[in-house]
Amino acid sequence: MDRSKYLLLGAAAAAAFAFHASAGRAADPAPPRAAWKWPARAENLKVLPKRTTPEQLRSAMMGFTRALGVRCSHCHVGEEGRPLSTYNFASDRNPKKDVARGMVKLVGEINEELDEIRKETKLAKSDALNVACVTCHRGLPRPVTLAATLTRAYTAAGADSAISAYRSLRSGSYDSGAYDFREPSLEEVGEFAFSRNDTAGAIKLYELNMRQFPESGRVYERLARAYLAAGDTVRAATYFQRALNVDPDNAGAREGFRSLRRQP
């Protein structure tokens, strides 16, 4: 498959993902149809094939906007809320347009490499993998992890800021697939705080993780070690024991609890 087909394939996959992700939600009333038609021949195409049809162009653009959770004005010259007929889609004045072109090229190159790997390993075509914008972005303009987002909030204003960001994102994005709200994300931020000798901040983050995942022995073990570092042996012992209650095979909790019992 040549690169131009890969580019359109990636955009179509992003559009398909966005359609299925929105399935099942109550539809908003349809807005009035704008006086806009996709051009029979698009201008200034530098990455997509010159012969891209209006339907292919529509699929590609819809795929980009939905995969990144943005609107046309993110990459094109135009004012949000104004009719599409007022946009200058051919213009290159918006620098994000060139960023998008570079990312589309990257997607094409990755898919070419994946196809070569499939051929070399003699995998069936049904086992082929392809990436699209949504593979990394998942509705975010900047494809960053939850841990990275929370670490940035922590670095700016401490553990309370990271916790506030977590609660806000969990409330608004939990079912979107944009972020990974599983146990390791908060743990990573707690470890970062601990590495900066912010034991109190780490305890707050670990306690939040404990409340989210009360059946995990690891969250209790991490919290116990933070309390141990803070010199609170009573709470450390309590949480080492809780870790063992839910996970008797947790070697770290066993050793931590034994070391505390040996102390005078």
pLDDT 10s digits, 147-185:
999 999 999 999 999 999 999 999 988 888 899 999 999
Question: What integer pLDDT is reported at residue 34 of this predicted model?
Answer: 53
Question: What integer pLDDT is reported at residue 14 of this predicted model?
Answer: 47
55 shares its domain with 160: no
pTM over 0.85: no
Question: What integer pLDDT is reported at residue 207 of this predicted model?
Answer: 98
Residue 219 Cα distances to 44, 49, 153, 192, 193, angstroms: 54, 51, 21, 15, 15
Range(s) of the domain holding residue 237: 146-262
104 shares its domain with 160: no
Residue 251 Cα distances to 60, 223, 230, angstroms: 51, 15, 21
Residue 238 lies in a domain: yes
82 shares its domain with 169: no
Question: What integer pLDDT is reported at residue 16 of this predicted model?
Answer: 43
Total of domains in the chain: 2
Residue 29 lies in a domain: no
Residue 160 lies in a domain: yes
Instruction: From 113, 137, 161, give the residue that closes a domain.
Output: 137
Name 155's Cβ contacts closer than 8 Å, sequence gap at least 6. Answer: none
Stretches in the chain below the pLDDT threshold 50: 1, 12-30, 33
162 shares its domain with 220: yes
7 shares its domain with 119: yes
pLDDT in tens, 104-121: 999 999 999 999 998 898
Question: What integer pLDDT is reported at residue 127 of this predicted model?
Answer: 80
Question: What integer pLDDT is reported at residue 124 of this predicted model?
Answer: 84
Question: What integer pLDDT is reported at residue 188 of this predicted model?
Answer: 97
130 shares its domain with 166: no
Instruction: From 82, 111, 137, give the residue that closes a domain.
Output: 137
